């Protein structure tokens, strides 16, 4: 009969989920974790407080490590598995959600549509330089009056001879003002089309959104398109419906399923360390039953979320993952990560509200993660439709 081991489990990998990963996957993860610990963690509290991001330096470093468009094949992209991409997102978001966002937007929202729906010429022009970080992209879907319901967008593109004239305003666009190329989704007579717009095109401008109390180490902008004229070969030829932008969202939501667990793990680790060092009533606060309950709840949430992410990663790699399953991962892992962050904050007491510790920063960031890439409610309704067969949107 096989024996049950009496070894003490690793507090950070209680279920030994590492044993489910290949050596190659662990290597990717270790490389990204090492980079984040050395290059992000020492600075991120200050960047977040000041609301800045050294984007050019980071883009180059991300490119050097091969993180940009890493799960895409060819055109200078690393061509890793989806699982490796997910693990990279997890480690990046253990640093900060804004750092993971930068990589998600570049790889899943700006490069992916070119890779999936672009012409060969468009791929050759943009992807190699986006993979190195020389060119930064953004993804313009949301508008001030079209958030959860992007198909109601007003941005439109009209034919003028062989050109297109684009008018509209996009809102809440990550990397908007630092992008060299914007992937803009617009209504046309032939359905919703994606346009690759160099940001120095006359009529295109971007204004940063200030006073954010979440995702502060990330650029968020409003994009204005005022009679922007582009030739026909700036249109993505491969799609002309909401399927285009929604397919990109599947990729980014998959990364968030992993990423949120990175933020949760960082909060759990911080709270665990703190609870062992911090003494009250003559004892470490970790010795109190109420604190152990919180620590165990956090540990279980992080492990459960990691298992969900790894399962979805395997399904994506074997080609069986559905968009509703991606909704499951984004929905459950982000809401649990937020709960972990709030619990960790309580364990740190007054110290939990300062940026000396990562917890309040992750907690505030996760409020954005809960909302973007499909709110918690939108993913609830996607899954609700999947299990009932009834559409709650229309």
Q: Which spans of this chain sit near ligand TGC (rule: CB under 6 A)?
A: 101, 104-105, 139, 141-142, 148-151, 174, 241-243, 246-247, 249-250, 252, 323, 372-374, 378, 382, 393
**Residue 56 or 208 with smaller CB distance to ligand FAD:** 208
**Residue 139 or 164 with smaller CB distance to ligand FAD:** 139
From start to end of the chain, where are the E strands?
137-140, 156-160, 163-174, 181-188, 191-198, 204-208, 220-231, 279-280, 283-284
How many other CB atoms are there within 10 angstroms of residue 272's CB atom? 19
62 binds, among ligand FAD, ligand TGC, none (CB under 5 to 8 A by kind): none
Burial of 2 (0-12, 13-18, 19+ CB in 10 A): exposed
Is there a contact between 262 and 89 (Cβ–Cβ < 8 Å)? Answer: yes
Provide the minimum distance between the beta carbon of 24 and ligand FAD in the complex, in angstroms, as a whole number.
30
249 binds, among ligand FAD, ligand TGC, none (CB under 5 to 8 A by kind): ligand TGC
Nearest residue relative to ligand FAD (C-beta): 147
HSE, CB side, 13 Å, CA atoms: give it for residue 29.
18
Three-class SS state of 44: helix
Provide the minimum distance between the beta carbon of 208 and ligand FAD in the complex, in angstroms, as a whole number.
11
Q: Which residues does residue 7 pair with via DSSP β-bridges, in sequence order? A: none
371 binds, among ligand TGC, ligand FAD, none (CB under 5 to 8 A by kind): ligand FAD
Residue ranges binding ligand FAD (CB under 6 A): 105, 139-142, 147-148, 172-174, 215, 220, 368, 371-372, 375, 377-378, 381, 393
Catalytic annotation present for 269:
no
Three-class SS state of 262: helix
Residue 105's nearest CA partner among 129, 138, 128, 65 is 138
SS3 content of the chain, % helix, strand, coil (to 5): 55, 15, 30
241 binds, among ligand FAD, ligand TGC, none (CB under 5 to 8 A by kind): ligand TGC
Provide the minimum distance between the beta carbon of 137 and ligand TGC in the complex, in angstroms, as a whole number.
12
133 binds, among ligand TGC, ligand FAD, none (CB under 5 to 8 A by kind): none
Provide the minimum distance between the beta carbon of 235 and ligand TGC in the complex, in angstroms, as a whole number.
17
**Residue 36 or 141 with smaller CB distance to ligand TGC:** 141
Provide the minimum distance between the beta carbon of 170 and ligand FAD in the complex, in angstroms, as a whole number.
7
Q: What kind and span of H or E run contains 58?
A: helix 55-65
**Residue 77 or 99 with smaller CB distance to ligand TGC:** 99
Provide the minimum distance between the beta carbon of 205 and ligand TGC in the complex, in angstroms, as a whole number.
20
Buried b (16+ CB within 10 A) or exposed e, 87-105: bbbbbbbbbbbbbbbbbbb
**Residue 35 or 331 with smaller CB distance to ligand TGC:** 331
Buried b (16+ CB within 10 A) or exposed e, 174-211: bbbbbbbbbbbbbbbeeebbbbbbebeeeebebeeeee
270 binds, among ligand FAD, ligand TGC, none (CB under 5 to 8 A by kind): none
**Residue 37 or 208 with smaller CB distance to ligand FAD:** 208
Is there a contact between 295 and 286 (Cβ–Cβ < 8 Å)? Answer: yes
183 binds, among ligand FAD, ligand TGC, none (CB under 5 to 8 A by kind): none
Tell me the C-alpha to C-alpha distance, in Å, between residue 143 and each of 100, 106, 171, 222, 298: 22, 19, 5, 9, 36
Q: What span, in angstroms and rounded, lies between the C-alpha atoms of 4 and 349?
A: 38
Provide the minimum distance between the beta carbon of 10 and ligand FAD in the complex, in angstroms, as a whole number.
34
153: left (phi over 0), alpha (psi -120 to 50) or beta: beta
The catalytic position among 39, 73, 373, 377 is: 373
**Residue 117 or 139 with smaller CB distance to ligand TGC:** 139
Residue 27's nearest CA partner among 93, 77, 84, 70 is 84
Residues marked as catalytic: 373
């Amino acid at each position: 009969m096989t024996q049950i081991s009496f070894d003490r489990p690793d507090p950070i990998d209680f279920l030994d989920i590492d044993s489910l990963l290949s050596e190659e996957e662990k290597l990717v993860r270790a490389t990204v974790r090492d980079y984040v610990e050395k290059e992000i963690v020492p600075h991120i509290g200050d960047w977040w407080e000041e609301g800045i991001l050294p984007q050019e330096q980071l883009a180059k470093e991300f490119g050097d490590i091969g993180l940009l468009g890493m799960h895409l094949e060819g055109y200078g992209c690393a061509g890793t598995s989806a699982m490796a991409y997910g693990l990279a997102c997890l480690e990046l978001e253990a640093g900060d959600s804004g750092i993971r966002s930068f990589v998600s937007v570049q790889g899943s929202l700006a490069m992916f549509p070119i890779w999936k729906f672009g012409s060969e010429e468009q791929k050759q022009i943009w992807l190699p330089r986006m993979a190195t970080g020389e060119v930064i992209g953004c993804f313009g879907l949301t508008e001030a009056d079209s958030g959860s319901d992007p198909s109601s967008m007003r941005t439109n593109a009209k034919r003028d001879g062989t050109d297109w004239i684009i008018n509209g305003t996009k809102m809440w666009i990550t990397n908007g003002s630092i992008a060299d190329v914007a992937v803009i989704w617009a209504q046309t007579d032939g359905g919703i089309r994606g346009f690759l717009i160099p940001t120095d095109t006359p009529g295109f401008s971007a204004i940063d959104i200030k006073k954010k109390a979440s995702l502060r180490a990330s650029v968020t902008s409003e994009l204005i398109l005022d009679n922007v004229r582009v030739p026909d070969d700036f249109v993505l030829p491969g799609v002309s419906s909401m399927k285009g932008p929604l397919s990109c969202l599947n990729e980014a939501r998959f990364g968030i399923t992993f990423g949120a667990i990175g933020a949760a793990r960082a909060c759990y680790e911080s709270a665990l360390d703190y609870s062992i060092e911090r003494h009250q009533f003559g004892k470490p606060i970790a010795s109190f039953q109420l604190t152990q309950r919180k620590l165990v709840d956090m540990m279980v949430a992080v492990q459960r979320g990691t298992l969900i992410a790894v399962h979805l990663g395997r399904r994506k790699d074997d080609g069986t993952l559905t968009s509703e399953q991606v909704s499951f991962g984004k929905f459950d892992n982000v809401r649990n990560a937020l709960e972990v962050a709030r619990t960790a904050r309580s364990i740190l007491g007054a110290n939990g509200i300062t940026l000396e510790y990562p917890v309040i920063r992750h907690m505030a960031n996760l409020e954005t993660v809960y909302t973007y890439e499909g709110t918690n409610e939108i993913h609830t309704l996607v899954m609700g439709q999947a299990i009932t067969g009834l559409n709650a949107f229309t």
